[in-house]
Amino acid sequence: LVSRKKKPEDTVIEVNGVRIGDGSQSFIIGPCAVESYEQVAAVAEQAVKQGIKIMRGGAFKPRTSPYDFQGLGVEGLKILRKVGDEYGLAIISEIVNPADIELALDYVDIIQIGARNMQNFELLKAAGAVRKPVLLKRGLAATIDEFVNAAEYIISKGNDQIILCERGIRTYERATRNTLDISAVPILKQETHLPVFVDVTHSTGRRDLLVPTAKAALAIGADGVMAEVHPDPAVALSDSAQQMDFDQFDEFMTELKPLVKVN
């Protein structure tokens, strides 16, 4: 059902006035993790200044180590919703437990399924059973075919509001945290009718590569770019090496705005 052969027209997902998939290009920005109301509100203020309509933030954080910050959970979702409502921003946040999908409906405008859960089939089915857009990230070591099949799990349950997100794959290369598979973007656009985003933060893991990889994503035809922004990345509870501070975010937007396609 996600195949372009089945449905030649692009799927367009409307969130907070943004038409994702209609040929225009947009941004999803926000902190890696929700840490406090003040932290999220500070990022929201910058986002609004830059005309951003969708803010991200992790409440349930899938961390490599069980001893690292695991996120604020439902409290984090509540903070996101409150800030989103105050600043007129749509909210996207990752859900890791199939049982939390229903609960998430009260707080988020887009459900994120993370790389580590791309083949959590029960989670995919639960996300397919609701009527809420889903941003599905490519697994750490998933082939494009496996990625497309994961989206098929969601759509097969009736939810066709799916955004695919390339976020880098694991290769032998250690210069970047993951290897951004930029060619996945046109392949996914050709093979499916779904919008495709590129997460430049988790694919590179390097702040100095965010602008060039985002430029590449826009040039190659991605529907949008996701990136992390934090008021003070040095003290961030997760991903402190690659989140942008507000000055870097300003520069990022100044470089990219002229390249964005509008529709």
List 189, 202, 207, 230, residue binding ligand PEP (CB under 6 A): 202
- SS3 at position 130: coil
Alpha-carbon gap, residue 38 to 41, rounded angstroms: 5
The structure tokens listed for 24 are 């225009």
Closer residue to ligand PEP in complex, CB, 42/198? 198
Contact call for residue 189 and ligand PEP (CB under 6 A): no
How far is Cα of residue 213 from the mean position of the Cα atoms in its chain?
15
What's the Cα-to-Cα distance from 88 to each of 53, 59, 157, 194, 231, rounded to whole Å? 7, 19, 31, 26, 19
Contact call for residue 58 and ligand PEP (CB under 6 A): yes
Least Cβ distance, residue 258 to Mn ion (angstroms): 27
Contact call for residue 230 and ligand PEP (CB under 6 A): no
Residues 6+ apart with CB under 8 A from 210: 200, 201, 204, 227, 242, 244, 248, 252
Sign of the C-alpha dihedral computed for residues 181, 186, 192 and 197 taken in this order: positive
Binding string, residues 15-44; x marks residues near ligand PEP by CB under 6 A: -----------------x------------
DSSP state letter for 139: P
Closer residue to ligand PEP in complex, CB, 73/158? 73
The structure tokens listed for 65 are 């180590």
Candidates 8-16, 47-55, 113-121, 188-196; binding stretch for ligand PEP (CB under 6 A): 113-121
Contact call for residue 177 and ligand PEP (CB under 6 A): no
Q: Which residues of 132-169 are buried (b: 16+ CB within 10 A; e: fewer)?
A: ebbbbbbbeebebeebbbbbbbbbeeebbbbbbbbbbb
**How many residues sit in the footprint of ligand PEP (CB under 6 A)?**
11
**Beta strands 162-166 and 13-15, pairing class:** unpaired
List 30, 31, 114, 231, residue binding ligand PEP (CB under 6 A): 114
Alpha-carbon gap, residue 183 to 56, rounded angstroms: 25
Contact call for residue 32 and Mn ion (CB under 5 A): yes
Alpha-carbon gap, residue 118 to 113, rounded angstroms: 7
Binding string, residues 59-78; x marks residues near ligand PEP by CB under 6 A: ---x----------------
Contact call for residue 110 and Mn ion (CB under 5 A): no
Contact call for residue 94 and Mn ion (CB under 5 A): no
The H or E element containing residue 219 is helix 210-220
Candidates 23-31, 80-88, 112-120, 216-224; binding stretch for ligand PEP (CB under 6 A): 112-120
Which one of Mn ion, ligand PEP, none interacts with residue 212, CB within 5 to 8 A by kind? none
Which one of Mn ion, ligand PEP, none interacts with residue 223, CB within 5 to 8 A by kind? none
Candidates 43-51, 73-81, 173-181, 237-245; binding stretch for Mn ion (CB under 5 A): 237-245
Binding site for Mn ion (CB under 5 A): 32, 239
Binding site for ligand PEP (CB under 6 A): 32, 58, 62, 94, 114-116, 137, 167, 199, 202
